[in-house]
Chain A
Amino acid sequence: MGRLILVTLALLLAACDPPSPPPDTIRVSDALGGGDTTGFSRALTPRTFEFPADHGPHPGFRHEWWYITGNLDAADGGTFGYHLTFFRIALAPEAADRPSRWAARQVWMGHLALTEVAAGRHTARERIVREALGLAGGEAEGRRIWVEDWTLARHPDTGHWRIDAVTDAFALHLDLAPLRPPVLQGDDGLSQKGAAPGNASYYYSLTRMATSGHVVTAGDRHDVGGLSWLDREWSTSALEPGQAGWDWVSLQLEDGTDIMYYRLRRSDGGVDPRSRGVRVDASGRRTDLEDRDVTLTPLDWWTSPRGERYPVAWEMTLPGPGPALEVRAVLPDQLMDLSVRYWEGAVRVFDRGSGEQLGRGYLEMTGYDG
C-alpha cells in the first residue's frame, strides 16, 4: 500500500524547518484517520481503472500520491537508492471561489531522498506548496506532476516517466520505462484498510520500470541505471483507531519476481488481518498475499537520534517453495525526518539460508515514533 504517509496533519507543522521538527511530530495514523469526509468521494466499491487517465489526479478524494522508489547503479561503480513522492492533499472538497489566485484547496507535498550507499549518506528534502499560480499540481494522465522544480512527467506517447528534481544537495534526472502493465492491488484495486466501508483506497503499482539517467551529488554527475517502482493510491479515509502504523516492502528480484507486502500493526501490538500484498512472477502470474501467508521477523534494529527503534533487517517468508528472504537496509539511517517522520530506505534481498543476493527493493516503516 503504500504509504499512507501523512497527510492533512502534515500541514500543521509545515511551518517548521526540516532540521528541527517539532517535538510533537504527526502520527501517521492520526493523519490518515477519518476527519470530516463530507463532500469527498470514497473508495467504497471496486472500480474500473482506465489508463492513462488514472495516472492523473483524482481531486474528489482527499489524499493521493505518486510514490517512486528505486535502486540505481552508477557507471562509476557507486550505488544509490532514491525516493520521490508527490502527495496531494485536499483541504476542502469544493474549489475556492476567491479573488486572490493564492486561494487554494489543494496542497502538494514533495518528499525527495537519496541514499548514497558507499558514502553512507542519506539526504532527504521536503517541499509543501499549494496548488496555485502553477507552483504545484497534477495534469491529466500524469503528463506532469510537480511541486515547484520537482517534476514527474509521463510521456503520452512512449509511456515513459521522467523525473527531474533538483535540491541544494543533489539532483535526479531519470527516465523510467515500465516493463509491466499496472498491477492492481487489493481487491481489483480496492485496498481495504479499515473495517468500515470507505476506509479504503484505490491502489495500483507499476512494479518494474527500467531506469536510466543521471544523479548529481556534490556537483559530480553519475550516469546511472536500475529499477524503479511507482505506487499510486488515492483515498479519503483509510486508517482507523487502533491501527498504529505499518511495515511495507517493495522487492524486485533478479528472477523477475516483484513482491509488495504491507503489514498493518495494531496499537495493541498485534497484526491487523487486513494486511495485504501481491507477488507477480516473471511471467506476470500474480499471487495475492494475506496476513496468514506471510511472516515478517525483525533481525536487526537501528535506534534513531530520538531513541526510536526501527527494524532495519527482516526475515520474510512467503507461501510456496522459494527460500526465506532476508531484507536488509543498505544503510541503517534512512529516516525521513521531515514534517512527518518515517523510515524509508533502499534494501537488499538475500537468500536467508545461502546469503546469496536475490534482488533489491525498498522498505517503509511508520508508526515507530510513539
Chain B
Amino acid sequence: MVNPLLGGLVRASRRYLTRHPWNLMLAIAGIGLGSAVVIAVDLTNSSARTAFRLSMEMLSGTATHQVVGGPRGVDETVYATLRLRPGSPPSAPVVSGTVTLGQRTYTLMGIDPLGSGAFRGDLEGMGDGVVERLLVTPGAIMMSAPRASTLGLERGDEVVLERAGGAHTATLAGTFRTANPAARDGLLVADIASAQELLGRVGRLDRIDLILEPGEEQAVADSLPAGLRLTPAAARTEAGARMTEAFHINLAAMSLLALLVGAFIIYNAMTFAVLSRRPLFGQLRVIGVTRGELFRLILGEALILGLVGTLVGMAGGIAIAQGLIGLVTRTINDLYFSLTVNQLLVSPTVLAKGMLVGLGATLLSALLPAREAARSEPVQVQRRSAVEAPMTGIIRRLAMVGIGLFVLAAGLLAVAPRALVPAFGALFMVVIGFSLLVPGLLVAGGRLLGPLLARVHPPLGTLALRGITRSLSRTAPAIAALTVAVAGTVGVAIMIESFRGTVELWLAQTLTSDIYVSAPESSSSRIAGRLDPALMASLESLPGVAATSRGRRVTVESEHGAVEVLALAMTDRGDRGFRFKGPVVDDLWVGLEAGDVVLVSEPYAWRHGVAAGDRLELFTATGWRTWRVGGVFYDYGSDRGLVVMHQPAYAAAWEDEAISALGLTLAPGEDLDTVMARVEERVAATAPAVRVRANRDLRAYSMEVFDRTFAITRVLRLLAVGVAVIGIIGALLALHLERSREYGTLRAIGATPRQMGGLIVLQSILMGLLAGVLALPLGLLMALMLIKVVYLRAFGWTMQTLIGAPLLAEAVALALGAALVAALYPAWRIARTPPAITLREE
C-alpha cells in the first residue's frame, strides 16, 4: 500500500534539505562530532584494553599457572628443585624487565629456549642456530623480524639496551615471528642467563610458568617452599584489567557527554526542519498525507542525516582516536604498567557500536520534532505562535520530568552506594534533568532580565530578549546544549582543580624529607631495586644531614591480590606525614613499631572494605601472616592502594633487609643545593644509576604526571565545547534566518544594517550569558557528583572541593565567547541583506 504521494514527499524532503544546506551541514556536524568523540574514546579504550591483553598474553605465553614470590622474586634454585622432583609438571623459568632501546621501551624476557617449546609456541623462528647463540653468546637477544627491519638491524648487530641500572650491549642473535602485535612491537627475548645479566637479576627469577592439568594445582602448591605461591595465570591478567577499568569508564562517560551535546544539536536541527516547513506540511495534510507518513518522513530524514553524520563521525573518531591513544597509553604507563603496544586498533565492532549509538541518539532527538510535524493540521498554520503556544504547556511537563530525573538520580545513588556505573547514570540523569529545566529557567530569566533590558536599550533589548523567550522551541535546546557543554567543562575543571589541590597538599604533607635517593627499578617488574648499604651509610653521615628515613616499596601478595607495601623506617617525628580518615586503633604507633599493625591507604580501604581494627592477611616469606589495620590514611599515590608497615617488621617477615629509597632531612640552616651536590657526588662515584631528587623536584615531577593523566580529560572537554559551539551557531542561524521577514520589516521601518547586526549580536550575548549562568549551578552539581561520588567510587579518593572564582568567570566567558563566535555569520548576513529581498520572500 504505497501512497502515490510518497514520491512527492521524498522530493519535497530532498528539496528542503538541499535548499537549507547550512542546517543540513550543522546537523551532520553535530551528529558527526558527537559520535566521533564517542567512537574515538571507545576505540582508544578498546585499543588500550587489547594492548593490555596482548601484553599479558605475550608475558604469560601458554602457561596456566605461575609460581610467584615476594618482593625479591623467586630463587632460581627453586626451579631446579621443582624440575628434579620425579614426575613434576611442565614448567619454565622467566626473568623479565623493561629496557629501552633507542626511543622505545621493550619488555626483555629471559626464557629457557631449550625447554620453552610448550610455553612459547607463540614465538616462531627459534631455529637456524639461534638457540645455540642465545645460550653461548652473553647478551644475545632476539626481536621480531618486523622490528629488526624497522630498526635496520641484522643478525650479529650490536645494540645498547638501557635499563634503570645502566646501559648494556646486546647482540641480535636472530629474529622471531609472532602473531601477537604486543610481542612484535615490544618484546625482546633472551636466554635466561643473558636476561639475568642484562637486568641485574643474577640468581633470581621473576616467576616460574607452569602448565598444569586440572587437579594438579594442590600438589604443586603444597610442594612450594614458604614464601612462594601458585597463582592461575589468568588471575594476573584479570587483576590488571580491573586496575584500569575505572579509568576506562571515566573516559567513556566523558565521551557520552559529548554525544549528549550532539543530541541537542540534532534535536535543534530537526525542530527547525519541521518548523520551517509547517506551511508545506499543512498543504500536504490537505492533499491527503497522513500524520503517520509525516512522522515517518521526519524520522526518515533524521535517519539519513544520522547515517551521514555517523559516517563522518567514524572518520573523525578514528582521527581523534589517533591523537588520544598516545595520551591514554602514556597515562596507563605512568600509573599502571608498561604497555608495549600503542597503536590504534580499529575494531569493526567498536565502529558498529558507535554508529548504532549515533543513530540511536539521532532518532531519539528527532522523535519530538517528528511528532510535532505529525501534528500539523490540514490548514495553513503559519503563525509562529501556533507553534510556540504548546511550548508553554510543554515547559511545565519538561520541568516535571527534569525534577523527576533528579529524584531518580538521588534514589539510584542511595540504592547502589558503591558501584561506579550507577554513579555515572545518576550524573547523566542530573545533566539531562537540568537541561529539561532550561526552558522554564529561560522564561523565568526573561522575566527578570526584561525590565533591566528595557531600561538599557528599550527597543533593541526588548526585541532581543523576546526573540529568545518567544522561540523557546529553538532557543531552549541551543542554550541547553551550550549549558551542558559549559557545565561539563566547569564540573570537570573543578574536579581536576580540587583533585590537583588535594594532591599538592598531600605531597607537601607526605614528602617531609628534603632530598630523596632511590634505587633504580623497572616498572613492569615486581622485583624492587635496592640501595647499597655502604652508600646509605655514607649518605646518612654527610655533613648537613640531620635526619633520615629509609623506605622499601615492594609488591606482595595479599588476600586481595597483589598489593603495594611501603615499609618505612621512620625517624621519630610527631605526625609522620600521615593524615588519617576516621578512627585509628589506640596503640597505633606502638603496634606499628612492634610490627603487628599496618596502615592502609584510603583506596585500599575503599576497594577491599577494610577499616581500622580489621585483619589483613599478607603472604610473607614464611607463608600467610595476619596484621591488624591500625588506620586508614589519605594517599593519592596509587589507586590500587598501599599498605604501610614498619620497615624492621617488613624485613623480618619477608627476609628482605634491602632499602629502595632514602629520605634525607637537612639540618636547620643548611643550604639544599650544597648538600644536594654532596649527595650527588657520592652517588655518582659508586652507583650512577641511583636517582637523587630534591623534594621540590619530586613534587614537580608528581604534578607533571598528574597533569599528564588529565591531559586526555582536557581534550575531551574541549571537544564537548566544540560540539556546543556548532550547536549554538546552528540555533542562531535558524533563529535569525527564520526571522528574516521580521528583520526585513525592521529594516523597512528604518533600522540600519549596523543596528540589525547589533540586535543579533545582543541576542547571542544574551543566549551565551543565560547558558553561562545556567551552566554554573549545573557545573557545580556535576563537580560535586564527580568528586563526592564518581571519583570516590572509581578510585576511593576523598578530595577536598576547591572552587576557584576565576574558573566560574571563565565558564561564563566561554559561553559568551562561543555565542559570539556563533553570531558572527548570521549578523553579517542579516546586516548585508537588502530589506526588499526579505520582504519579497513573503
Contact = CB atoms under 8 A, between A and B. Distances in A.
A168 B87 CA distance: 7
B203 interface: yes
Contacts of B116: 15
Residue from B192, B193, B194 having most chain A Cβ neighbours under 10 A: B193
Contact of B115 (A22, A100, A101, A128): A128
A81 B98 CA distance: 50
B114 A107 contact: yes
Contact of A91 (B76, B123, B132): B132
B77 interface: yes
B197 A11 contact: no
A130 interface: yes
B83 A14 contact: no
Interface string A1-18: 000000010011111111
Given A100-B202, A135-B80, A12 B88 contact: no
Given A14-B131, A102-B192, A133 B76 contact: yes
Interface string B98-130: 000000000000001111111011010011111
Interface string A164-202: 101110010000000000000000000000000000000
Contacts of B112: 102, 130
A148 B77 CA distance: 13
B86 A149 contact: yes
A102 B193 contact: yes
Contacts of A102: 76, 112, 191-193, 196
B114 A149 contact: no
Given A100-B192, A101-B76, A133-B77, A15 B84 contact: no
Interface in B531-545: none
Contacts of B115: 14, 127-129
Interface string A125-141: 00111101111000000
Q: Is chain B's interface secondary structure helix, strand, loop, or mixed overall?
A: loop
A306 interface: no
B643 to A, nearest CB: 33
Contacts, number: 107
Residue from B76, B84, B121, B123 having most chain A Cβ neighbours under 10 A: B84
A146 B129 CA distance: 25
A341 B132 CA distance: 20
Interface in B512-563: none
A267 B348 CA distance: 56
A296 interface: no
A355 interface: no
A160 interface: no
A133 B79 contact: yes
Interface size class of A (residues with CB under 8 A): 35 or more
Contact of B193 (A98, A134, A148, A171): A98
A24 interface: yes
A12 B131 contact: yes
A92 interface: yes
A168 B84 CA distance: 14
B117 A149 contact: no
B136 interface: yes
A105 B84 contact: no
Interface string A254-291: 00000000000000000000000000000000000000
A98 B196 CA distance: 11
Contacts of A99: 196-197, 202
Contact of A15 (B76, B86, B126, B197): B126
Nearest to B192: A102
B197 A98 contact: yes
23 contacts: A12-B128, A12-B130, A12-B132, A14-B114, A15-B114, A15-B116, A15-B117, A17-B117, A18-B117, A91-B135, A100-B196, A102-B112, A102-B193, A103-B138, A103-B193, A104-B135, A129-B114, A133-B79, A146-B84, A148-B88, A164-B86, A167-B87, A171-B86
Interface of A: 8, 11-18, 22, 24, 91-92, 96, 98-105, 107, 127-130, 132-135, 146, 148-149, 164, 166-168, 171
Given A91-B135, A98-B193, A102-B196, 9 more contacts: A11-B132, A12-B126, A24-B127, A100-B192, A101-B76, A101-B193, A107-B114, A135-B84, A148-B84
Interface of B: 76-77, 79-80, 83-88, 112-118, 120-121, 123, 126-132, 135-136, 138, 191-194, 196-197, 202-203
